[in-house]
Structure 1
């Protein structure tokens, strides 16, 4: 059965709820091992691939995720549409904790990561068009799925990708706000660019876990609150994916 969709799960999403007839696949890639085995199964009578970005026990920090291996593995198994689920902090006033966002832009503040499949000797150099970092068609399908599933989403926003694993300072977030960022996360790049290099349709479901530093009315960022908010927001993901697959 052809893979209808691949999902890369972020913090708080280490298994995909409702996946049946599961097969775990370790994929050899030219770029080393993936964060975890790819889990193949059936969801809503369609073939779905799931990969835990940080490993199934959250053992891989954001700056050490093997993004190239993860994206390559999904492509090699036949996935052509990929949804990245990302835990983020909210900067814009309408992007508080537990909000689900479908961002449409990215600013990359990361450094020292392998950002391209061209970073190997002899590889073809590809100058991809990254004007719109997320697939317009897949974002549109997610919007329709949200309406069908009655899941509230914010349909736009600029994702600022930072290095991690530490959270950001108030001054850094203030700069990001001036730059036009609405969300801050640590794993949005280079995943989106790598997917574009392989000509995959790629979109992001961003789950707001907390207000970013200096935003909202919180005195400090609590990890306990982050995981509690993620547990709530993550419940929207299988609903969105189900409606997406059902068309």
Structure 2
């Protein structure tokens, strides 16, 4: 069996992951540019053995990167490059449903991507690939996240659609009501193209969406204020770390292949003939697509 290397992308309010053994911060270079920050490596002792973990603060320590300026390709490439097999994305979101109040953790299963100012694929002119995003998150990771929330008495909802907006401004009231009419559950600014890139890199991915507010649609709640968001973020951060530790323990150090084939999606995704592939792009894909490129 392969070993588990659990990657965690920490969003707003979750910039570090303390308590690991043999921890270190290390700069990882990527041909796609600079990742958001150094990677935080460590080991988490569990009853079934030690689980390797890699933490990346999505916005960088101190939050210097906005949702639109994050180099999502470099982040996912760096995690793939160091052997990450599964990613838990921790994200702050606004709620679009009355039954998802602030403090709720939503284990989303769908996305609507409304971002427009970001690079969304490792592939492109000179090397084309098409991966399926019909089921954009890993059900196995979702099961572990649900179990972790339940076992730690953390308010959660399993399933829901995450509307990804460009930002950095919050929604207008008209936008918020439109997204509610679409049946969306939560709204945030960061999980796309992150989930798409993780799929292209054959890394299993799931999101813990931490509700901080009711966006601006709710008639009995004030419009979104950063101070209110930060307060709830601080309350949620400890719960997020508890959930991640529980997932690592239940996953264990040995990892079986994805039962849904998510770690083999490139087997049927590459469409450009080998002789027509751009050599420079092929070189940049050495980590993301190395499994299939080295076997062909």
TM-score range, shorter chain: over 0.9
Match of residue 10 from structure 1: 11
**Would you identify which runs of 4 or more consecutive aligned residues in structure 1 move more than 4 Å?**
none
User: Deviation per CA, 1:144-182, whole angstroms, max 9, x where unpaired?
Assistant: 222233322111110000001111111001111112211
The equivalent position to 2:161 in structure 1, one of 155, 158, 174, is: 158
Whether the 8 Å contact between 2:32 and 2:73 is mirrored in structure 1 is yes
Q: TM-score, normalised by structure 2?
A: 0.80
Whole-angstrom CA distance in 1 between matches of 2:31 and 2:25: 20
Whole-angstrom CA distance in 1 between matches of 2:119 and 2:240: 28
Deviation at 1:135, TM superposition (A): 0.6
Gaps of 5+ in 1: none
Whole-angstrom CA distance in 2 between matches of 1:19 and 1:229: 25
Higher CA-based Rg: 2
Correspondence 1:29 to 2:30: yes
User: What pairs up with 1:219-230 in 2 under 5 angstroms?
Assistant: 219-230=222-233
Correspondence 1:129 to 2:132: yes
Whether the 8 Å contact between 2:163 and 2:186 is mirrored in structure 1 is yes
Whole-angstrom CA distance in 2 between matches of 1:219 and 1:240: 29
Match of residue 170 from structure 1: 173
User: Deviation per CA, 1:92-148, whole angstroms, max 9, x where unpaired?
Assistant: 1111111111011100000021000014x533x221111111111111121122223
Correspondence 1:78 to 2:79: no
Whether the 8 Å contact between 1:2 and 1:78 is mirrored in structure 2 is no
Correspondence 1:102 to 2:107: yes
Q: TM-score, normalised by structure 1?
A: 0.95
Q: How many residues align?
A: 245
Whether the 8 Å contact between 1:93 and 1:216 is mirrored in structure 2 is no
CA RMSD, 1 decimal: 1.5
